[in-house]
Structure 1
Amino acid sequence: MSITPGFTLTEIREYVHEYQNLPHGTKTRWLKEQTFSKHQIMRWQDAVFGGDLDRGMIPRESSGMTPDAKARREISHQQRSIPKEQHDAELAALNARIRELEGTNDALGKAIGLLHKLNEQEPDTLPATGRESSSPPRTSS
């Protein structure tokens, strides 16, 4: 279900991101070439960045009440402005770090298992030496 008949959710999302990435001063000209109005793109922006687009909900007129909308808009813009090569490099580095941490986790798990085995083989108490304490006996005066 789309919030605007004639447009799919994917098309709406792409139009919004395309509009966001346009340089300052070119948005009005771009809008005149489209089949929708400035009011419509603003509603779509509210839906995309407010999280309502996927649910097919029409955004409230008071979208300023949702504190996450501005943050979502900035994050989405930052993600789309990162070059693909940089994104792929960051993703590869993160995947390498995940593999490294999983290897460390496995090694620690094995070490803990060995410690448990060694602990099972040791006696629970130390043998008595005849003397209960290593400190000298106290005398009462």
Structure 2
Amino acid sequence: MAGRAGYTAEEIRELVAQYQAQPHGTKALWLAEQPFTVHQFRRLRQMVYEGDVDRELIPREHGGMTRTHGQLAAFERARAKELAEHELEVARLQARIEQLEGSNEALGKAIGLLHRLSGQEPDTATTTDS
């Protein structure tokens, strides 16, 4: 498996987040169910936490790019906050869509009612000059 192995950067970030979300003692089982090996996943995880997923860069083992557990935890907290904000935005937009759909339906009914009322009006008498 070279680079991202056919996964987008966002898919890799999501896979790593799913792995981190697994309860203690179930991560190995989760990894066994995935289409990649433990070693391959380790490389993907290094890209997310220690390297650059977008440019497919992984640091050397002795490099200064490695992060501490505290930094990894901060990264996860930031990601969780970002996901929570995203979910709030999605919920807000969904509520707005429902509101607009309700307005649209009300306007459609009003237009239909206006068409029916205009069709029921008596014809105006035509006058002729004779």
TM-score (norm 1): 0.49
What is the alpha-carbon distance in structure 2 between the residues aligned to residue 13 and residue 40 of structure 1? Answer: 14
What is the alpha-carbon distance in structure 2 between the residues aligned to residue 56 and residue 65 of structure 1? Answer: 16
* 1:76 to 1:22, Cα distance in 2 relative to 1, 3 A: same
Deviations along 1:65-90, one digit per CA (max 9) or x if unpaired, are: 335522542212223445837x97xx
| Aligned with 1:69 (options 67, 70, 75) | 67
- Are 2:19 and 2:27, in contact at CA under 8 Å, matched by a contact in 1? yes
Structural RMSD (CA) = 2.7
Greater relative contact order (CA < 8 Å, ≥ 6 in sequence): 1
**Runs of 5+ unmatched residues, structure 1:** 89-141
- Which of 1 and 2 has greater Rg? 1
Q: List structure 1 segments (4+ residues) > 4 angstroms apart after TM superposition.
A: none
The number of equivalent residue pairs is 84
TM-score (norm 2): 0.52
Deviations along 1:45-69, one digit per CA (max 9) or x if unpaired, are: 1111113212222x1340x533552
Does 2:32 correspond to 1:45?
no
Partner letter of residue 66 of structure 1?
A: G
Q: What is the DSSP-based 3-state SS (H/G/I as helix, E as strand, rest coil) of the residue aligned with 1:4?
A: coil
Matches within 5 A, 1:1-141: 3-57=3-57, 59-62=58-61, 65-66=63-64, 69-70=67-68, 71-81=70-80, 84=84
- 1:14 deviation in Å? 0.5
